[in-house]
Amino acid sequence: MRWPDYHCLDARVEQDHIGYDDEGMLCQLVTVTMTDDTIRLDPAVCALTSEETRELAFELLACAEHAERLTAERRSRR
């Protein structure tokens, strides 16, 4: 399976973009958009609560650290 080639990630808070969290409480949403450099792919857009945004950020940081470790290991083998 080939993954889409999304390269750009944008997150923004729009004051009038509100929703509800898991407890049904009104909350401000964060809009996350992924696009490719050539605009061949349709943008992937989602609205996240602040908690979901933090979870995504944590997962991205964890993946980045893991990728850095793998890169360093591979470079040291050369």
Q: What is the pLDDT of residues 21-46, one digit of tens each?
A: 889 999 999 999 999 887 788 999 99
Q: What residues does 20 pair with on adjacent strands? A: 26
- Asked whether residue 26 is domain-assigned, the answer is yes
Q: Check if the beta carbon of residue 28 is closer than 8 Å to that of residue 58.
A: no
Q: Does a structural domain hold residue 21?
A: yes
Residue keyed to tokens 């944590």: 58
**Cα dist. 76→66, 70, 73 in Å?**
15, 10, 5
Domain extent, residue 34, equals 8-77
Specify the number of domains making up the chain.
1
Spell out where the chain has E strands: 8-20, 26-35, 44-48
> Does the model's pTM come out above 0.85?
no
50 in a domain, yes or no? yes
Q: Residue 1 above 80 pLDDT?
A: no
State mean pLDDT over 48-61.
96
